[in-house]
């Protein structure tokens, strides 16, 4: 049985159910992205092992987005320090601009505050992440000062990289 984190007449935010992995995978595939079903199956497995919380947004009864919270991240500038990391905030295209992303973040931040006073995240720096960059800044996230990271490592000044999904800026917020 799913845990319900938020509910109103249009929006439900709940924990992940095993069948959600395929819905997420199929939706991403329909966008021309290159998802891995194993990733979303692992999200469910890690949720069951209490390593990650997975928040599924249902808008008008249909899965419409997700966000995860890694409870003790092993990546980025705060790796292994006991701070939770927000990972993979996504709202499906057909329901953008309905407040779903902000509501997901409200719920995730509330849950993060139960384990630490700081939460952090990484956001891509290319234009495809423009909406995410804006929402995080508007919500008070600030860059940590470590510069950009590429393929899991802090990028040295003038180092070559590719402006792809692995080029990230880490940001944090006191909660």
Which token pair is 171? 């940001």
CB atoms within 10 A of CB 83: 21
Q: Tokens for 74?
A: 């092993």
Give the number of domains in the chain: 1
- Residue 35 CA: distances (Å) to CA of 21, 27, 78, 82, 143: 11, 9, 26, 28, 27
Q: What is the mean pLDDT of each run of 10 residues along the chain (175 residues)?
A: 95 98 97 94 97 98 98 91 95 95 98 96 95 96 96 95 96 96
Asked if residue 131 lies in contact with residue 105, where contact means CB atoms within 8 angstroms, the answer is no
Q: What is the pLDDT of residue 1?
A: 81
Domain span at 83:
4-174
Counting Cβ atoms within 10 Å, is residue 77 exposed (0-12), middle (13-18) or buried (19+)?
middle
In 3D, which of 19, 134, 24, 28 has the Cα closest to residue 68? 24
pTM score: 0.94
CATH value at residue 134: 3.40.630.30
Q: How many of the other CB atoms lie within 10 Å of CB of 27?
A: 19
Instruction: Report how far residue 166's alpha carbon sits from residue 145's, in angstroms, rounded to the nearest whole number.
Output: 18
State phi, psi for 63 to the nearest 5 degrees.
-55, 125
Q: What letter does residue 137 receive in the DSSP assignment?
A: H
């Amino acid at each position: 049985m799913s845990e319900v984190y938020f509910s109103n007449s249009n929006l439900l935010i709940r924990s992940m159910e095993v069948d959600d992995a395929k819905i997420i995978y199929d939706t991403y595939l329909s966008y021309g992205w290159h998802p891995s079903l194993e990733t979303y199956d692992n999200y469910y497995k890690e949720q069951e092992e209490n390593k990650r919380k997975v928040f599924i947004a249902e808008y008008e009864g249909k899965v419409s987005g997700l966000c995860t919270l890694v409870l003790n991240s092993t990546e980025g500038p705060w790796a292994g320090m006991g701070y939770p990391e927000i990972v993979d905030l996504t709202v499906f295209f057909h329901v953008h601009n309905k407040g779903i992303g902000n509501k997901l973040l409200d719920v995730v931040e509330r849950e993060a505050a139960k384990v630490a006073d700081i939460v952090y995240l990484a956001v891509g720096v290319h234009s495809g992440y423009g909406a995410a960059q804006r929402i995080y800044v508007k919500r008070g996230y600030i860059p940590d000062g470590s510069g950009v990271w590429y393929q899991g490592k802090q990028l040295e000044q003038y180092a070559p990289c590719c402006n792809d999904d692995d080029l990230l800026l880490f940001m944090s917020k006191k909660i």
